Structure 1
Amino acid sequence: MGQGEGEGGQVVELILKHFGTLRDPRVARTRRHALLNVLVMALCGVIAGADGWKQLALFARTRARWFATFLEIPHGVPSADTFRRVFCALRPQAFEACFRSWVQEMAQTLREEVVAVDGKSVRGALGKALAGSPLHLVHVWATQQRLLLAQAAVQGAPGEVKAIPELLALLDLKGAVVTVDANGCTAQVAQAVVQAQADYVLCLKGNRGPLYAYVQDLFAPVREGQARARVDSHSRSEEEGHGRHEVRSAWAVALKLEACPKSASTWPKLKTAVMMRRERTQGGKTQVQWHYYLTSLPPKARKLARIIRTHWGVENGLHWSLDVCLGEDSRRIRDHNGAQNFALLSRMALTALRRESTEKPGVPSRRKLAGWDNDYLLRVLMAVFTDL
Structure 2
Amino acid sequence: MNYSTLPFTLVAPDETYLLDVGALYTQAQTLVDHRKARGRQYPLALIVTVAVLAKLAGYTHVEDIADWAKLRCQELHVLFASKWARMPHHTTWSRILGRAVDIPALEQLVSRLLTPPAVGEVPERCSIAVALDGKTIRGTIPRGQSHGGVHLLAAYVPRRGAVLAQIAVATKENEIVAAPTVLTQLDVTGVLLSGDAMFTQRALSIQIVEAGGDYLWMVQDNQPTLRDEIELLFAPEYVQAGWSAPAVDFTTAQTIECGHGRIEERRLTASSLLAEYSDWPYLAQVFKLEYRTTELCSGRITTTVRYGVTSAPQQVVDARGLLTAVRGHWGIETGLHSRRDGSFDEDGMRTRTSQAPHVLATLNNLALGILGGHGIRNVAEAQRALAYHIDRFLQQVVAKQQAHVPPS
Assess same fold via TM > 0.5: yes
What is the aligned partner in structure 2 of residue 32 from structure 1? Answer: 41
Q: TM-score, normalised by structure 2?
A: 0.81
Q: Are residue 188 (structure 1) and residue 197 (structure 2) matched?
A: no
What is the aligned partner in structure 1 of residue 64 from structure 2? Answer: 55
What is the aligned partner in structure 2 of residue 383 from structure 1? Answer: none
Report how far residue 153 of structure 1 moved: 1.5
| Equivalences for residues 177-256 of structure 1 within 5 A | 177-221=192-236, 228=245, 230-256=248-274
Q: Distance in 2 between matches of 1:225 and 1:151?
A: 51
Q: Deviations over 1:182-239 (max 9, x none)?
A: 11111122122213312211111110132222222222227x9999474432223212
Q: Label 1:356 to 1:94 Cα distance change in 2 as closer, same or farther (>3 A).
A: same
1:313 to 331, 338, 345: 331
Report how far residue 120 of structure 1 moved: 1.8
What is the aligned partner in structure 2 of residue 7 from structure 1? Answer: 4
Q: Are residue 100 (structure 1) and residue 111 (structure 2) matched?
A: yes
TM superposition outliers: structure 1 runs of 4+ over 3 Å: 8-13, 105-111, 155-158, 224-231, 255-259, 353-357, 375-378
Q: Label 1:132 to 1:287 Cα distance change in 2 as closer, same or farther (>3 A).
A: closer
Give the counterpart letter for 1:36 in structure 2: A
1:278 to 265, 288, 291: 291
Q: Label 1:235 to 1:158 Cα distance change in 2 as closer, same or farther (>3 A).
A: farther
Q: Distance in 1 between matches of 2:274 and 2:360?
A: 48
Give the counterpart letter for 1:42 in structure 2: A
May I ask how many residue pairs the two structures share in their alignment?
A: 367
Report how far residue 161 of structure 1 moved: 1.1
Aligned-residue identity in percent: 26
Q: Is the 8 A contact 1:107 1:147 kept in 2?
A: no
Q: Is the 8 A contact 2:194 2:216 kept in 1?
A: yes
What SS does the aligned partner of 2:133 have? strand
What is the aligned partner in structure 2 of residue 22 from structure 1? Answer: 31
What SS does the aligned partner of 1:22 have? coil
Report how far residue 113 of structure 1 moved: 2.3
Structure 2 gap segments, 5+ residues each: 7-18, 395-408
Q: Deviations over 1:277-319 (max 9, x none)?
A: 1011124221111111111122432222222122112222212
Report how far residue 64 of structure 1 moved: 0.9
Query: Which of the pair is proportionally richer in helix?
Result: 1
What is the aligned partner in structure 1 of residue 400 from structure 2? Answer: none
Q: Deviations over 1:25-81 (max 9, x none)?
A: 111111111111111111112222223222121111111111122212222211111
Task: Tell which deviates more after alignment, 173-182 or 98-107.
Answer: 98-107
Q: CA RMSD in A?
A: 3.0
2:128 to 84, 97, 113: 113
Q: Distance in 1 between matches of 2:366 and 2:139?
A: 19
Report how far residue 110 of structure 1 moved: 6.1
Q: Distance in 2 between matches of 1:211 and 1:99?
A: 38
Structure 1 gap segments, 5+ residues each: 379-388
What SS does the aligned partner of 2:83 have? coil
Q: Label 1:49 to 1:16 Cα distance change in 2 as closer, same or farther (>3 A).
A: closer
What is the aligned partner in structure 1 of residue 405 from structure 2? Answer: none
Q: Is the 8 A contact 1:126 1:336 kept in 2?
A: no
| Equivalences for residues 326-345 of structure 1 within 5 A | 326-345=344-363
Q: TM-score, normalised by structure 1?
A: 0.85
1:370 to 382, 386, 390: 386
Report how far residue 157 of structure 1 moved: 10
